[in-house]
Amino acid sequence: MIALKTFIKRYQLGSLLLLAILLVVILPLSLDIFRLNLIGKYLTYAFVAVGLVMVWGYGGVLSLGQGIFFGIGGYAMAMFLKLEASDPITTKIQTTPGIPDFMDWNQITELPLMWLPFKSLTLTLILVIAAPTLLAWIISFAMFKRRVGGVYFAIITQAVALILTVLIIGQQGYTGGVNGMTDLKTVLGWDTRTDHAKYVLYFLCVGLLLASIILCRWIQTGKAGTLLLAMRDKEDRVRFSGYDVANFKVFTFCLAAALSGIGGALFSLQVGFMSPSFVGIVPSVEMVIFAAVGGRMSLVGAVYGTLLVNFGKTYFSESFPDMWLFLMAALFIGVTMAFPMGLAGVWEEHIRPRLQRRKLLPLGDDSPQSPALHAAAVAATVDSAAEPTLPDGVSTQRA
C-alpha cells in the first residue's frame, strides 16, 4: 500500500485516478448508451490532445497538422473494416464482387496493391501506429535537423495536412474521395453497432487513453522530459551541453503521431466511418484548441479540455442551431482570456494553493494564526510547483 502511494505521488497520478473514476464509473452509470458513445468519440480526439501536450507543451513545438496522423490511423482501420464489409456475398450485385463499392463505381476491377496488407487485422494494427509514426519521422527529421521550428514548422504541418486532404479527395477510386469510407459494421464478424459492442469499445478507448497518459507521464518525469522542458526554454544551452536537440524533438513528434494514429483507429471503430474532413487544417486547429483549453502542460487537463470543447459543440449545435458557431467562438475566447493556462491552470494557480493553505489552518478558522503559518503555506505552494532538477549546465528558466 505504501509502495502504491509512493508511486502515485512520484508520478503525480492523483488527478489521473480522479479522471479514471469519472470515465470508468461515473459516466457509464449516469449516461445512456447514445451519450456514452458520444463521449467515446470525444475521447478519441483526446489522444491527439495528449500528444500535443508532449510535443507543444513540453517540447515547445507547435504542430497545426495533427489531423494528418489522426486521419492516417483512422483510414488504416477503416480500410480493414471496409474490406471485411466487402466480401463477395455482400457485394455480389457489383460488377466486380469482393472489392469496396467506391472502387466498383470508379471502374476498378481488382483490389489495389496498397490495400492488400489491410486484409490482416494484425498488420492493420501495426500500420495504425507505424504509418503515422513513419510520416512524422520523415517530416520532423527533415525539419529539425535543419533547425526549422517555430511558426515555420507550424505552417509546414498545415501545408502537409492540406496536401494529404487534396490527395485523399482526388484519389476517389482508392480512398472513397470526399465521402470517405462508410458502412463499417463488423470486426472479424463481431457487430460493432450493438449496445454491448459500444460499451466494449468505450472501455477499450478509456483503457488505452489512461495507458497513454501514464506512458507520457513516465517520460515527463524522466531525463527526457527534463530535457524537453530545457529545450523549450533554452534550446541553445541544451545543444551546447552536448545533447542532440533534433533527436529529442523527432522522438516527441513521432510519439504524438503514434498516439494520434491510435485515436484515429478507435474513431473509425466507434463511429463507423472515416472521411477527409478529419484530416485537414480545420480539425487540426481544433485539436490544438483542445490542448489549449485543457492546459498545454497538463496531460489530464488535455482530456478535460477535449471533453469540454466537444460537449459545448454538441450542446450548442443541438440547442442553438442558428448561432452555435458564435457560441463556440465565445467559449474559446472566454476560456483563453480568463484562464491563459487552461483548465489545469485554474487548479494549479487557484484551487491547489487554497487547499494547501487550509491544511495548515486550525479547524473552524479561515486565516493563518501567525505569519509563520502563512509563510509555511506559501512555501509549500512554491515547492509543489517547482520544476524538476536539470542536468548540469541546463536551465528551464524562460528567456
Q: What DSSP assignment string belongs to 146-208?
A: TT--HHHHHHHHHHHHHHHHHHHHH-HHHH-GGG-B----EETTEETTSHHHHHHHHHHHHHH
Res. 196: pLDDT tops 70? yes
Q: What is the pLDDT of residue 363?
A: 44
Mean pLDDT of 259-278: 93
Q: What is the pLDDT of residue 89?
A: 86
Rg (C-alpha) for the chain, rounded Å, is 23
Mean pLDDT of 180-209: 92
Q: How far is residue 291's CA from residue 117's CA, in Å, rounded to a whole number?
A: 34
Q: What is the pLDDT of residue 364?
A: 43
Q: What is the pLDDT of residue 351?
A: 67
Res. 226: pLDDT tops 80? yes
Which is higher by pLDDT, 318 or 336?
Answer: 318
Q: Which of 43-52, 240-249, 361-370 has the lowest mean pLDDT?
A: 361-370
Q: How far is residue 284's CA from residue 280's CA, in Å, rounded to a whole number?
A: 6
Mean pLDDT of 327-337: 77
- What are the grid coordinates assigned to 197, written together? 459492442
State which amino acid sits at residue 193: R
Mean pLDDT of 117-132: 95
Q: What is the pLDDT of residue 234?
A: 85
Q: How far is residue 21's CA from residue 24's CA, in Å, rounded to a whole number?
A: 5
CB 54 within 8 A of CB 256: yes
Q: What is the mean pLDDT of the chain?
A: 84
Residue 227: partners with Cβ closer than 8 Å, 6 or more residues away: 238, 243, 248, 390, 391, 394
Q: What is the pLDDT of residue 323?
A: 79
For 21, the 3-state DSSP assignment is helix
Res. 81: pLDDT tops 60? yes
Q: What is the pLDDT of residue 198?
A: 93
Model pTM?
A: 0.84
CB 148 within 8 A of CB 140: no
Res. 92: pLDDT tops 70? yes
